[in-house]
Copies of this chain bind each other. A is one copy, B any other.
Amino acid sequence: MAQDPAGLLRLLWLVAHEHAVSRMDLARVLGLPQSTVSVRTQALISAGVLVESGEGSSAGGRRPKLLSVDAGFGHVWAADVGSRHVRIGALDIAGNLLHVTERPLDINREPVQVVAAFANTVREVAAEARCPGRQLGIGVAFPGPVDVGAGTITLPSRMPGWRGFTVRDALREHFDLPVAVDNDANLQALGESVAGPPGRTLLVVKAGTGIGSGLVVTGRLYRGRAGVAGDISHVRVPAAGDRPCTCGNRGCLETVASGAALVAQLREQGVDINSTAQVMATAEDGHPDATTAVRRAGLQLGEVLATVVNFGNPDEVLLGGALSGSEAFVAAVRGALYERCLPLATRELRIDRVRFGPDAGLYGAGALVLDEVFDEAIRSRR
């Protein structure tokens, strides 16, 4: 097991985004000893991933050897499976998104067929896009709990018929490449974690059609005992009253603060909409009912998050998913958190939308496979 997961990945990310151009820089930013950085850097260089590209300017001493990522090394495919669509993208090894598309995908069919359809779509997209270098792997984010060890879907509340389905193996039959799967919110959290400073504790809440969340504790993705950590959608909130929830219980957060709930609420009020995307568009257009509903959803979510923030004392709370596209939603969450949390817990707390917006899941899925790919690349060059 890689003891510092995403360690190499973060190193590459820093180099690629010029947050660090020399070994010294890396040591400083990563908080690792220079010796360690030197060794890792060397490994990545001889694996062909990093290259030395000239020298930097001196600041009174030896000139640093500038590092850069060889983007021609290859790319991975990443996919974020939604309720009706898949978002598919290619990322180079530096973590740059080369290409994104969204394609329809109906997950309410036989898993085997869905996977086949998905595989075809990916192949089509790949053929069109013609990304440089070889394909190195594929990472997929699913909307629901995933048993990462077994590569199966655990509790498919949003994917009926998928319980226990061995997605990873099914995907491997279509692609002769490393395949990595995980829950979408987890992957958004992973993506954010890799892109930011190391060792943080952060919470990503994906508020889309459903509500999910991913948790990174001191730099490591925390999946919980049953792999269902981060579930806040079925917390009971007063405002939800007795509304029945898909989980069988009543009064869950999901019944008032999810995209699905907003659709239902607005339809009750006579607004003609069918999807979370439409809710957001309508709110953006300034429709008062829609705007109010989105704002209220943010308040509800914020109240629940307050408990979690007081308790878990994270460095960042990041909002993803369709609802996070609304500034009003983000503001409502912020407001609720600042009001309800201990000052000590919010004093240096960053509350924001996810850095990569709708592509957050793709970055995470890419990061997950890339981690495997680099481990493999280094191991084989030895």
* Residues of A participating in the B interface, judged by any CB pair closer than 8 Å: 145, 155, 201, 213, 215, 217-218, 222, 224-226, 228-232, 234-236, 238, 247, 249, 303-304, 306-308, 310-315, 340, 342, 344-345, 347-348
A333 → chain B, closest Cβ, in Å?
Answer: 16
Q: Assuming the A-B contacts A224-B201, A312-B229, are A236 and B340 also in contact, with contact meaning beta carbons closer than 8 angstroms in the complex?
A: yes
Let me know if B314 and A225 touch, CB within 8 A: yes
Let me know if B342 and A311 touch, CB within 8 A: no
Let me know if A342 and B310 touch, CB within 8 A: no
A304 → chain B, closest Cβ, in Å?
Answer: 6
Let me know if B345 and A311 touch, CB within 8 A: no
Contact residues of A: prevailing secondary structure = loop
Let me know if A313 and B344 touch, CB within 8 A: no
Residue among A229, A303, A314 facing the most chain B CB atoms (10 A cut-off): A229
Let me know if A342 and B232 touch, CB within 8 A: no
A38–B148 CA distance with the chains assembled, in angstroms = 32
Q: Which residue of B lies closest to A227 (CB)?
A: B313
A225-B314, A228-B344, A236-B306 given. 6 additional CB < 8 A pairs?
A217-B222, A224-B312, A231-B311, A249-B340, A307-B307, A312-B312
Given B238, B303, B310, B347, which contacts A234 in the complex, CB threshold below 8 Å? Answer: B310
B-chain residues with CB within 8 Å of residue A247 when the two chains form the complex: 342
Q: Assuming the A-B contacts A217-B217, A224-B312, A236-B340, are A231 and B304 also in contact, with contact meaning beta carbons closer than 8 angstroms in the complex?
A: no
Q: Assuming the A-B contacts A307-B304, A308-B308, are A313 and B224 also in contact, with contact meaning beta carbons closer than 8 angstroms in the complex?
A: yes
